Amino acid sequence: MSNLNINWYPGHMKKTIDTIKASLKLVDVVLEIVDARIPIASRNPLLDDILGNKPRVVLLNKMDLGNVETNEKWVSYFRSKGYESILIDSVQGINLKKIEAISRKLLQDKFKKLEEKNLTSKRVRAMIVGIPNVGKSTLINRIAGRKSAKVGNKPGVTKQNQWIKSGKDFELLDTPGVLWPKFENEKIGLDLAFTGAIKDEIMDSETLAFKLIERLNDMDKKILEVRYQIETEGKETLEIMEDIAKKRGCLLKGGNSDYEKVAKIVLDEFRKGVLGRISLESPEDFND
Ligand SMILES: Nc1nc2c(ncn2[C@@H]2O[C@H](COP(=O)(O)OP(=O)(O)OP(=O)(O)O)[C@@H](O)[C@H]2O)c(=O)[nH]1
Ligand SMILES: [Mg+2]
């Protein structure tokens, strides 16, 4: 994808890595947040190097938008790779309580050692890292909700770092680590664009919607047929776009289809889950 227009300059990347590494020293556990519909495309390949041995939980966010069965397969996939993993919905607040429990489980040995030294602190500090738009802020805000309080600056901690308290002894660093996505191949780039992880500037929205329609129709013809009340059998993608245009009244003066409007509708409805719960990646595609 040589024509991709993404602003991740080497200097920016280095600064990001340095910032995350500095924050890492302040936390016990890292919450790696990915999009449940594209858990591989929405990871950052450098994270393993950055994190070293730091305990990590993979949070499969936006579970409400992913296929139910595929969601579960992803949990098994990450567990088989040695990571704790949970499905969450940061908007509805589903499974968020489990984050602390799983983090604690990962830190069992640490707590045991502390106890042997008669140190009774049970505090767990965590930070969230993830690519743009995966839901970092939504999760932090949700956890920070009504019952919790900002802990504020603590001695020995850099001034800018704000801690969000959740429950009694669970604290979250409220500056999330923002990583860039990887663009290993065209499929990954498109999946990121379909889900809105990278904004529409990577290609014009009509081309993007064209490619999404193609993909959805390859997956399951019912998706578009049911939503837009159209027939797709034996039709070219452009014809399908024209049919959607007719059904939705997306017509220009003179009667031509308003492809831009169709594109906006399809992308928007896909991203909101109106087209159904659709996973774009499945563990079977990654037999590594
Ligand atoms: N359906 C659904 N939408 C979610 C969920 N979590 C976040 N979102 C939506 O995803 C979009 C991005 O969420 P943010 O919390 O701003 O993502 P972010 O990772 O902080 O993004 P940046 O600050 O740009 O890096 C928003 O429209 C959220 O409402 C979820 O679990 N389900
Ligand atoms: Mg944010």
**For the chain, what is the largest distance between any 2 Cα atoms, rounded to a whole number of angstroms?**
81
> Which atom belonging to ligand 1 lies closest to the Cα atom of 141?
15
Please check whether residues 163 and 236 belong to one and the same domain.
Answer: no
Amino acid at position 60, single letter:
L
pLDDT band at 237 (very low <50, low <70, confident <90, very high): very high
- For ligand 1, which residues put their CB under 6 angstroms from it? 61-62, 64-65, 89-91, 130, 132-138, 178
Task: Give the residue whose CA is nearest to atom 32 of ligand 1.
Answer: 62
Give the residue, 154 or 197, on which the prediction is more confident: 197
C-alpha of residue 227 to centroid of ligand 1, in Å? 24
Q: Can you give the CATH number for the domain in which 147 is found? A: 3.40.50.300
Looking at residue 26, its pLDDT comes to 93
Looking at residue 54, its pLDDT comes to 93
Please check whether residues 209 and 105 belong to one and the same domain.
Answer: no
pTM: 0.91
- For residue 35, what are the β-bridge partners? 61
Q: Which domain holds residue 236?
A: 204-285
Q: Can you give the CATH number for the domain in which 272 is found? A: 1.10.1580.10
pLDDT tens, position by position, 115-157: 888 777 789 999 999 998 999 999 998 988 754 556 655 544 4
Strands (E), the chain: 29-35, 56-61, 84-87, 124-130, 163-166, 170-173, 177-178
The answer as to whether 4 is a domain residue is no
Structural domain count, the chain? 2
